[in-house]
Structure 1
Amino acid sequence: MREADETTRQKLADALRAEPATPSELATQLDLTPHAVVRHVEHVSRSVDGTDEQLLVAPPTCRDCGFDGYDDLLNLPSRCPECKSESIDEPTFTIE
């Protein structure tokens, strides 16, 4: 399949197979918004379900207190629920 024929989700899955990335990094690479990337990652995770691959997610982490116990890993939290800091590292996605 030619690169121009690939869908956004196929390009996203290929990028995640190549190396781990944050939503912002993927957004820049694929010319999307970080929130659009997260929505596409949700669909990609369903696509790899039942195959020999899996989507792995390193959770978002608060840079101030280290909190990483977010309930929804496929999310871009704006504040830490523990210390209310807005200094949050984005989740990192990869497909292995």
Structure 2
Amino acid sequence: MREADETTRQRLTDALRTEASTPSELAVDFDLTPHSIVRHAEHVARSVDGTDEEFLVAPPTCRDCGFNGFDDLLNLPSRCPSCKSEAVDEPVLTIE
């Protein structure tokens, strides 16, 4: 299948099978916003569920206090709920 014939979600799935990435990194590659990458990733996670593959998310992490207990792992938090710092690393997504 040619790349132009693939949907965004198919291309995102292929990219996540190849390399772990943050929503911002994927947004640059796909010319989308990080928030739209997260929404597409939610659908990709559901489509991978029940197969021999696994959609994995390394949680967002606060660079100041190390907090990583966010309720929604597939999210782009603007600040840490523990120390209120805005220095929060994005989640890292991959398919294995």
| Separation in structure 2 between the aligned mates of residue 82 and residue 71 of structure 1, nearest angstrom | 12
TM normalised by structure 2 equals 0.99
The alignment status of 1:26 with 2:26, answered yes or no, reads yes
Report whether the alignment pairs 1:82 with 2:82: yes
SS at 1:39's partner residue?
Answer: helix
Structure 2 distance, partners of 1:68, 1:14, is 27
- Give the CA deviation at 1:16: 0.2
Alpha-carbon RMSD? 0.4
**TM-fit CA distance, 1:38:** 0.2
Task: Report the Cα distance in structure 2 between the residues aligned to 1:59 and 1:86, rounded to whole angstroms.
Answer: 15
Name 2:39's counterpart in structure 1.
39
- Listed as ranges, the matches of 1:1-20 within 5 Å are 1-20=1-20
The equivalent of 1:58 in structure 2 is 58
Deviation at 1:78, TM superposition (A): 0.3
2:64 pairs with 1:68: no
Q: How many pairs does the alignment contain?
A: 96
Q: Which amino acid aligns with 2:63?
A: R
SS in 1 for 2:69: coil
Stretches of structure 1 that go unaligned for 5 or more consecutive residues are: none
1:64 counterpart SS class: coil
1:28 and 1:52 map into 2 onto residues whose CA distance is: 29
Once residues 2 and 51 of structure 2 are traced to their aligned partners in structure 1, the CA distance between those partners, rounded to angstroms, is: 23
